[in-house]
Homo-oligomer: A and B are copies of this chain.
Amino acid sequence: MNGLRLIPLGGMGHVTQNMYLYEYEDEILIVDCGIGFPDMYMPGVDILIPDTAYLMKQLEEGFHIAGMLLTHGHDDHIAATPYILPELPDFPMYGSPLTAGFAENRMQDMEKPRKVNVLQDKKWCKIGKYFEVMPLAMTHSVPDTKHYIIKTPEGIVYHGTDFKLDQKPIDGVLPDYDSIEELGKAGVDLMLMDCLRVEKKGWVKSESTCGPAIEEAMMNIKGKALVTLMSSHIHRIQQTINAAAKCGRKVAFVGRSVEQNVEVALSLKKLNVPMGMIIDKHDITNTADSELCVIIAGSQGQEGSSLIRAIYGEHPILRINSQDKVIFSADAIPGNDVPYYAAIDELFRNGVEVVYPSLSPDIHQSGHAGAEEQRTLLSMVMPRYVMPIGGADRHRVLFKTMVAGQVGIEEKRVLVPGDGDIIMLKDGQISYPEQITIRGRAVDGLGIGDVGPRVISDRLALGNAGMIVIVLPRDRKNGQFHLDQMQVVSRGFVYMQDAEEVVKFIKDQTANFISQEKKKKTDTSLRIRLEKMIARKLFSIIRREPMIVVSFIDV
C-alpha cells in the first residue's frame, strides 16, 4: 500500500516547533508537540505552534491517532499541547516520568487536562495496530530524555531527538549504549538525529563540568548568590543546590517556571536536596543575604521575567544590591543577545558583580552533541537512511559531509527533505510522494492562528514607519467631498511638533487630488490611487513609507 509516511508538521530546517507524524494505513502516531519562538520578523507574536492542517484533513478522511510520544520535557517538544490537543480527539499519550510531569503541568489549564502514561525503558509498548515503541535512555539538558525506537510494518525507525553523549551525567544515567549497539546490529531502517551543533567539531563538555564553575562563582560573595538558568534544566539546578550546600547557603526558587519544574522534579525524586535546605521565596527577606542562594527564572533577560523585575526594582519580594552576585548559567539563545546583554549591562551599571559564559566558559554547557558525538552515535546505529533533524538548513546540509560522510554513509542515504515534503519508507526505499504546505501558526495573546502573513506584514510596516489615516467626509446626497472637514490622524511617523506641517501637506495634496479627480470612479479605485499618491509624495520628501489608509465617510 502506501508505506510508512513521515510528516514533520513543524517544518524542516526549523530548530523548534517539533511535531512529527508517523502514518501507516489509517493510523497516525505523533511524536512531540512543541512550540517555536518568533524572531524579529514576527513582532507581537508570543509563540509559534505547528501547523496541524494536514493532520485535521487526515482525521476528516477517516484516519485516527494511535497515540502521542513525548521525547523530553523541553517546551519546543511539549508546550504546544494546550493549544493543539483541544482540537484533536482523545488518544493515549506517553513519555518518561519527568517528561510526563512537565507535560501535564503545561496542560493543567486545559478544559480537559490529559494524563501522560509513563513508559519503561527498554520495553516494547504496542501503540495502535501498527506501531510498537521502545524508549532508550539518552542524555540532554533535561533529565529523562529518551530516544525512541519505533517498530513499524515497514521497518525500524530510530527517533533520535535532541541529545548529547554525556560521559558523566549528573543523575548517573548514561545513554543506553548497549541497547543502541544491539539495535544497530539488528538493523535500523531510518534514523532521525539531532544535528543542531554540527558546527562544533569535537565533543560538547559534560554537564558535570558546570558544577565546579558554579561553585567557584559562588565562593566569597558577601550578599546573595543569584543563579539564573533554563527552568527545565534540573541537572543544572541540582548542581547549583550542591554548590549552595557547600557554600552554606539555603536555596529559594523564584519564577513561576522554575518553581513549577522544581516541584515536579522533587515529587519524582529527580532532585536531591538536603533536609531543610529549601526555603520558601517569601522567607528571602527573613534570611541573611550571605546565607542565601536564589535560583531565578529569566536567564534570557526576558521582559517580565522574575530576574528582570528584580534587576529593575519591580519584584515584589526580591531586591538585588551591590553585595550580591548574579550568575548567568546560560548562553544567549541565538537572536536574543540584545535583551540578554542588556540585563547584564544593567547589573554592572548598578555595581552588581556578574558571572556569565564569556567570563567563565564552563558555567554553561550545551545540551546538544557536537559533530564527533553525532558521528559516534551514528556509527553505532549505522542505519540504512539517516535524516538530520532539529537544526537549521545549514546544519542539515553540513551533517551530510561532516557526520554521515565521515562514518561511511553515502549522501543519497542522508535525507534532507524540503519544507513540507512527506518522507515515505516502503520496501526499504525512501521517496517523497507529496508536498504539503506548512505554515507556523502564531499565538498572540488569546488568539491562535489569527495573526497571519498579512497581519505580520502590516505590523512590520507600521513598526517601521507608522501610519497615517485620512478621513474624508462625503455628502451622502450629492456625493460631494467636504474637503474642509477632512481629518488626518498619524502615529509613529514623525515627531509630533512637526506633525502639523505634515498634516497640512497631506490635506493640501488630498484636496488637490480630489478636486482634480474626474467623477464616476469606484470608491476602491479612488481610495487606492489616493493612498498611493500620498505614499509616493511622502517618500520623495522624507524617504519613509508609512502605511496610508484613506477612509470615506458618508454623512
User: Chain A interface (Cβ within 8 Å of chain B)?
Assistant: 13, 39-41, 43-44, 199, 334-335, 337-338, 341, 344-346, 348-349, 354, 358-359, 392-394, 396-398, 444-447, 449-452, 454-455, 458-467, 469, 471, 473, 482, 485, 487, 489, 491-496, 498, 539, 541-544, 547, 549, 551, 553-555
A541 — which chain B residues lie within 8 A by C-beta?
446
Would A44 and B459 be within 8 Å (CB), given that A394-B344, A471-B551, A553-B473 are in contact?
A: no
Contact of A495 among B338, B452, B467 (CB under 8 A): B452
- Can you offer 13 A-B residue contacts whose CB atoms are under 8 A? A13-B349, A345-B392, A348-B394, A444-B544, A445-B542, A451-B495, A455-B492, A458-B491, A459-B464, A459-B465, A467-B491, A469-B551, A489-B551
| Distance between Cα atoms of A359 and B451 in the complex (Å) | 37
| Distance between Cα atoms of A118 and B466 in the complex (Å) | 44
Q: Could you tell me the distance in whole angstroms from the C-beta of A356 to the nearest C-beta in chain B?
A: 9
Q: Could you tell me the distance in whole angstroms from the C-beta of A323 to the nearest C-beta in chain B?
A: 16
Quick one: closest B residue to A553, CB to CB? B487
| Distance between Cα atoms of A33 and B281 in the complex (Å) | 50
- The answer to whether A553 touches B471 (Cβ under 8 A) is yes
- The answer to whether B348 touches A393 (Cβ under 8 A) is yes
- The answer to whether A459 touches B463 (Cβ under 8 A) is yes
Would A345 and B458 be within 8 Å (CB), given that A44-B464, A44-B465, A498-B450 are in contact?
A: no
A334 — which chain B residues lie within 8 A by C-beta?
337-338, 341
6 tightest CB-CB pairs across the interface, nearest first? A463-B463, A445-B543, A44-B464, A462-B462, A458-B492, A199-B358
A393 — which chain B residues lie within 8 A by C-beta?
345-346, 348-349
Contact of A471 among B358, B487, B491, B539 (CB under 8 A): B487
A485 — which chain B residues lie within 8 A by C-beta?
553-555
Q: Could you tell me the distance in whole angstroms from the C-beta of A530 to the nearest C-beta in chain B?
A: 14
Quick one: closest B residue to A547, CB to CB? B491
Contact of A544 among B337, B341, B445, B471 (CB under 8 A): B445
Contact of A454 among B338, B473, B495 (CB under 8 A): B495
Most chain B CB within 10 A, of A492, A551, A554, is at A492
- The answer to whether A463 touches B494 (Cβ under 8 A) is no
| Distance between Cα atoms of A465 and B341 in the complex (Å) | 26
- The answer to whether A469 touches B445 (Cβ under 8 A) is no
Would A492 and B450 be within 8 Å (CB), given that A40-B40, A471-B471 are in contact?
A: no
